[in-house]
Chain A
């Protein structure tokens, strides 16, 4: 549905994107993770044709955004972190103006969507009086009009309260369930990505450093938390087993290593072992490893 091929972009001579490529399949919810300034929003900007790529191409359902942006974007609905509406117009007028840019405004369909996002009571109020949550619902309504096949969400739950986040998550998951909606979800809220996405990419300094299923990401390098004294013996013994120390005092051993052998070796070497805990990394651990400055 969405194919991003080898995107590059420079801002003021500095690389913002360095050959970013990924693919989002139809009906998939795909997360794009990264620190602030990592290149997530630039990637989204290129996908939406708002930012000109230095090189590379974005295809939406087989249509190139660079060659025919109007046709490519017909199937896209987008939501940004802080949706900026015309505050002096009502929600309904905003929808009419924005949706009218892409085609005829169908009031009946718009009313249905407004009801669906739970804004019926306030849709004729000025947007200036809306809360952040209401703006986000209005943004969702405009993104869903007329009938997109892919939603691009740029940190949509930032600033929402827990109730709002849950509502948003359930709504997006519901859209996938009912309509088979494809979603590209750009966020640094790991819990959201973990709960919503099928696959995820991690972008760091304009480079894609990881791509895979969320479950694979969580489990790809399980480790052991080992506590023993004195620390010199611990370091010497685990070194013998070619273990690698990871953040949080977690040791990752080669796949064939039996932990019982490690513990026996520690005891034989005179160490006092106080903790041996298998550690299954959270997405946050993995994310921090991949997105930190050192190489993963």
Chain B
């Protein structure tokens, strides 16, 4: 019964800190920059490309396609930094600053403290992705109007799809954004896991990003193409399959089950490490 007020307290702590908003500001600037370049520089190229491929130009250069680009190509590389930063801080910073002693002197279990913090991080991650989607789409509509469908071309995942119908395109992109939010929770779980260990907050963030980027690099090495399915970042990228004409639900379910399992494992090991720690000045 006390869980929700406690979670509200945890979220209040998280969102009262200025550094939590760095990612929001950076993404707003990035979206504005990308859309400006899209309109000023890219539009002619899109028109030429559309003519060559006999595709209506309002599919290639539409607000929905721009939103897909903003989310699909920036979240992994840019968003992961902020998820790792916030999640890496969530336990380690309080331990470093001494707040954790105050918290632990209250009659509350360590598991409860971690569950609250993990929930706060997950809420931050998913709302951040949705924020980027909503603001990206709003700015794209402002820059190019709301008309036009969605054009998807992702050679890595072997997807080529065209949605002239704006409503269908919108809902598929929305579903994709939700799944992407779930995917990005893995980065947050990595940050959270390292944050539970006896290390500095910055080290926790760096470790999480290191694991994430190493996995990403390995996944993209040509001679490992047959082993793509074992890499976390490949599984995280499976959100894009909801944009395929025939959605491969079995593949998506498999990938997200693996990611959920990984999140639970990271939380559990982090909790065990946190539980066994001594907290002294």
Binding site for B on A (CB under 8 A): 11, 41-42, 45, 48-52, 69-74, 76-78, 80-86, 88-89, 93, 96-105, 139, 142, 152
Nearest B residue to A82 via CB reads B98
| B41 smallest CB distance to A (angstroms) | 41
Indicate which residue in B5, B13, B108, B278 contacts A89 across the interface (CB closer than 8 Å): B13
Give A70 to B107 CA distance when docked, in angstroms.
Answer: 4
What chain A residues lie within 8 Å of B280 (beta carbons)?
41-42, 45, 50-51
Nearest Cβ in chain B — how far from A54, in angstroms? 11
Q: Which 4 pairs from chain A and chain B are nearest by CB?
A: A84-B98, A78-B105, A73-B107, A50-B279
Q: List 17 extra interface pairs beyond A50-B279, A70-B109, CB under 8 A.
A: A41-B280, A51-B279, A51-B280, A52-B276, A69-B109, A78-B105, A80-B98, A80-B105, A80-B281, A82-B281, A83-B98, A88-B17, A93-B12, A96-B9, A101-B9, A101-B103, A102-B107
Residue of chain B at shortest CB distance from A72: B107
A93 to B14, CA, bound (A): 13
Cα-based distance from A75 to B99 in the complex (angstroms): 20
Contact B278 A84 (CB under 8 A): no
Q: How far is the CA of A51 from the CA of B275 in the complex (A)?
A: 10
Tell me how far the C-beta of B111 lies from the nearest C-beta in chain A, rounded to whole angstroms: 11
For B6, list chain A residues within 8 Å (CB). Answer: 100-101
Q: How far is the CB of A41 from chain B (nearest CB, A)?
A: 6
- In the complex, are the beta carbons of A97 and B2 less than 8 A apart? no
Contact mask B130-145 → A, CB, 8 Å, 1/0? 0000000000000000
Complex Cα spacing A70 to B97, Å: 23
Residue contact B9 to A48, C-beta cutoff 8 Å: no
B14 CB to closest chain A CB (Å) equals 11
Interface of B with A (CB < 8 Å)?
2, 5-6, 9-10, 12-13, 16-18, 97-99, 101-109, 113, 276, 278-281
Which one of B5, B12, B16, B104 contacts A49 once the chains associate, using CB atoms below 8 Å? B104
23 contacts between A and B (CB under 8 A): A41-B280, A42-B280, A50-B104, A50-B105, A50-B280, A51-B278, A52-B276, A70-B107, A70-B109, A71-B107, A72-B107, A73-B105, A80-B101, A86-B99, A88-B16, A88-B18, A89-B16, A96-B9, A100-B2, A100-B9, A101-B106, A101-B108, A104-B2
Q: Contact between A104 and B109 (Cβ–Cβ < 8 Å)?
A: no
**In the complex, are the beta carbons of B2 and A103 less than 8 A apart?**
yes
Query: What residue of chain B has the Cβ atom nearest to residue A83's Cβ?
Result: B102
Nearest CB in chain B: distance from A93 CB, A:
7
CB-defined contacts of B107 to chain A, threshold 8 Å = 69-74, 76, 101-102
Q: Are B101 and A50 in contact (CB under 8 A)?
A: yes
Chain A residue numbers with a CB within 8 Å of B104 are: 48-50
Q: Is the CB of A97 within 8 A of B9?
A: yes
Q: Which residue of A lies closest to B109 (CB)?
A: A70
Measured between beta carbons, the chain A residues less than 8 angstroms from B105 are 48, 50, 73, 76-78, 80, 152
Taking the nearest CB of chain A, how far is it from the CB of B217, in angstroms? Answer: 36
